[in-house]
A and B are shown apart, each in its own frame.
Chain A
């Protein structure tokens, strides 16, 4: 196990969390809750893209683990 694969795993978890948030945002009938879920989804998306950048760097540094 390397850092890169750990970070990747974290990113995948966040991605599924993002999906759940978007589902909740669609299904919730309370406006306030809907908005909170939606905003959270966008923020999670930002974190994901940050992590993706970091994964790119890590794979560049340890190319042997690429794709794991």
Chain B
């Protein structure tokens, strides 16, 4: 056989084999590669390259070697799924380097991390002062994870005891001018409703590049024609405003009326509306 034909055949064989093997290795790869997995990945690639070009080597030998190099990490992965001890051994354990705001020099030495490297890692996380850190660990993949002291952490809604309603993920219902039925039904809505909403916004489906529905069933769109201004959803602010107005009206009526009974009725309902408002405001305030 001609040499170049042989190389073409080998290239395609190993391309396909590599593709299938990496698929089989799974998604975990890249993101959280342990050093071992990283090295096996490179080795598999090298074997493929070596056998593709080295015509004196047999194709089957290459394939066998590649499958073993793939199989081993997979089996190790399966075993470590089941067993914590083996998992710690294979994937490594996190090492604590800062505890109670104090640097643990011994652990740092164990990981062969210099203080400069630690500072660099902290700086990359926007921490410039070690005393701001409550707790820090070096993860098995070499990253440093930090927990700031409470007073240095960003303020959250929980910190100021603000009751925030939970929000579901938005659904993308229009893409490139086409309606996507599946997310639409996930949101519990249908095409009829969508067409109605689009009519309210005075746009056609063809002109919509992207349309999303938020947790409250409000539609927001991005148009191909960026010169057209689409109004933002007004349903919730309008509702909040009209409820506030009614509450004020009822209070006014209760002052104006002379009948004692009517006064009570107005008062009672205005208070009721007040309670309602405090309950609804977090939901209706646009977040």
A16 and B242 form a contact (CB under 8 A): yes
B277 CB to nearest A CB, Å: 9
Complex-state Cα separation, A3 to B250, whole angstroms:
11
A54 and B265 form a contact (CB under 8 A): yes
Chain B residues, Cβ within 8 Å of A23: 217, 235
* A interface: dominant SS: helix
Complex-state Cα separation, A36 to B217, whole angstroms:
15
Complex-state Cα separation, A53 to B259, whole angstroms:
14
Partner among A14, A29, A57 whose Cβ is within 8 Å of the Cβ of B168: A29
Say if the beta carbon of B8 comes within 8 Å of chain A.
no
A13 and B246 form a contact (CB under 8 A): yes
Say if the beta carbon of B245 comes within 8 Å of chain A.
yes
Say if the beta carbon of B243 comes within 8 Å of chain A.
yes
B217 and A13 form a contact (CB under 8 A): no
Stretch from B12-20, B22-30, B95-103, B268-276 forming part of the interface with A: B268-276
B216 and A17 form a contact (CB under 8 A): no
Chain B residues, Cβ within 8 Å of A16: 242
A30 CB to nearest B CB, Å: 5
Query: Considering only CB atoms, which chain B residue lies closest to A14 in the complex?
Result: B246
Say if the beta carbon of B188 comes within 8 Å of chain A.
yes
Complex-state Cα separation, A7 to B242, whole angstroms:
14
B246 and A17 form a contact (CB under 8 A): yes
B187 and A29 form a contact (CB under 8 A): yes
Complex-state Cα separation, A13 to B189, whole angstroms:
27
Complex-state Cα separation, A9 to B245, whole angstroms:
11
B157-176: contact bitstring with A at CB < 8 Å (1 yes, 0 no)?
00000000111100000000
Say if the beta carbon of B127 comes within 8 Å of chain A.
no
Which residues of A, 28-55, contact B by the 8 Å Cβ criterion?
28-30, 32-33, 36-37, 40, 43-44, 46-47, 50-51, 53-54
Q: List 28 A-B contacts (CB under 8 A).
A: A3-B257, A6-B253, A10-B246, A13-B242, A13-B246, A13-B249, A14-B246, A17-B246, A20-B235, A20-B239, A24-B236, A24-B239, A27-B216, A27-B217, A28-B215, A28-B217, A30-B168, A30-B215, A33-B216, A36-B165, A37-B280, A37-B283, A40-B276, A40-B280, A43-B276, A47-B272, A51-B269, A54-B266
Binding site for A on B (CB under 8 A): 165-168, 187-189, 215-218, 235-236, 238-239, 242-243, 245-246, 249-250, 253, 256-257, 262, 265-266, 268-269, 272-273, 276, 279-280, 283
